[in-house]
């Protein structure tokens, strides 16, 4: 039970809004000591896992110079011009279309998109422009909602498409786990049984995107007609 002290520290630290890095370090030290490791052993573990997970940071750092440069030369502004020409475009539809592209491509084994490479420079500005329509202004609450849903679409497409492709981490990890237990479980079967959830996840995203559009419409209606409620 004492080993759960790290979990408790994380929960308390996040709730009290202490610097997140500090909370994580404290939780690591506390858990390590509770399990009987020495300080040097814990430091070596932190160093090893920190290095092993450099792949998490690499795409962001390498993507930012090109994204920053394109933004400076009007990438967002151009995306807004294009999206305004399409009458059917709404914030929800833009995000849902991106979710579909992301989910289908990764289920075929191709990882494109990402928060730094696609959501910030393209998807979020396009969705915002679609919501603005012809010249209207958006409340800051609507902007936050649109951006957060764009990030959610990236995650949903990524997570719930990935497990359909047999050569990716998740399926291979499960296969390896069963092999270590002396069981032979087919990768095809595991990929197949991921498909129903993939459809449900996309349907759930469709529902959220519709709701997002309705909320934006309602907020805009209140704005253009502030006395309407009386």
Partner 1 sequence: MKIITVEACYAVVGLYLFVLAGRIAAERDHPRRWGSALFWTLLGVTFIGAKVLAPIIIGYFVVAMVVLAAMGQVTRGASHETSRQERVGHAERLRNRIFWPALLIPATAVVGTLILGELHHGDVWLVEPKQVTLIALSLGAMLALIVAMRTTGANVGAASREGSRLLQTLGWSLILPQMLAALGGIFAKAGVGEVVAGLVAQAVPTGVPWVAVLAYCGGMALFTMVMGNAFAAFAVITGGIGLPFIVKLHGGNPAIMAAIGMLSGYCGTLLTPMAANFNLVPAMLLELDDKHAVIKAQVPLALVIFAANVILMMVLVYRF
Of 59 and 133, the one with the shorter C-beta distance to partner 1 is: 59
The DSSP code for 4 is G
**Nearest-approach distance from CB 52 to partner 1, in angstroms:** 8
Q: Where are the beta strands (DSSP E) in 147-220?
A: none
Of 120 and 132, the one with the shorter C-beta distance to partner 1 is: 120
**Nearest-approach distance from CB 44 to partner 1, in angstroms:** 4
Cβ atoms of residues 92 and 152 within 8 Å: no
- What whole-number distance in Å separates Cα of residue 149 and Cα of residue 127? 10
Of 78 and 218, the one with the shorter C-beta distance to partner 1 is: 78
**Nearest-approach distance from CB 156 to partner 1, in angstroms:** 6
**Nearest-approach distance from CB 192 to partner 1, in angstroms:** 8
Cβ atoms of residues 87 and 133 within 8 Å: no
Of 163 and 213, the one with the shorter C-beta distance to partner 1 is: 163
Cβ atoms of residues 165 and 191 within 8 Å: yes
**Nearest-approach distance from CB 212 to partner 1, in angstroms:** 9
Cβ atoms of residues 9 and 27 within 8 Å: yes
Distances (CA, A) of 91 to 42, 98, 153, 220: 47, 11, 12, 13
Of 155 and 219, the one with the shorter C-beta distance to partner 1 is: 155
């Amino acid at each position: 039970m004492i080993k759960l002290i790290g979990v408790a520290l994380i929960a308390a630290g996040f709730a009290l809004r202490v610097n997140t890095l500090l909370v994580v370090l404290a939780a690591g030290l506390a858990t390590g000591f509770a399990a009987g490791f020495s300080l040097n052993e814990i430091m070596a573990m932190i160093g090893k896992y920190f290095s092993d997970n450099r792949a998490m940071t690499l795409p962001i750092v390498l993507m930012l110079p090109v994204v920053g440069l394109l933004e400076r030369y009007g990438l967002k502004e151009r995306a807004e011009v294009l999206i305004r020409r399409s009458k059917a475009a709404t914030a929800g539809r833009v995000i849902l279309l991106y979710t579909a592209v992301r989910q289908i491509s990764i289920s075929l084994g191709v990882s494109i998109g990402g928060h730094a490479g696609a959501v910030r420079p393209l998807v979020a500005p396009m969705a915002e422009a679609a919501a603005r329509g012809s010249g209207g202004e958006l409340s800051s609450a609507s902007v936050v909602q649109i951006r957060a849903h764009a990030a959610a679409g990236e995650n949903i497409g990524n997570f719930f498409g990935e497990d359909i492709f047999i050569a990716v981490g998740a399926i291979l990890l499960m296969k390896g786990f069963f092999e270590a237990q002396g069981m032979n479980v087919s990768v095809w079967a595991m990929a197949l049984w991921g498909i129903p959830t993939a459809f449900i996840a996309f349907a759930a995203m469709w529902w959220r995107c519709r709701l997002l559009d309705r909320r934006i419409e309602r907020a805009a209606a209140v704005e253009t007609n502030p006395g309407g409620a009386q």
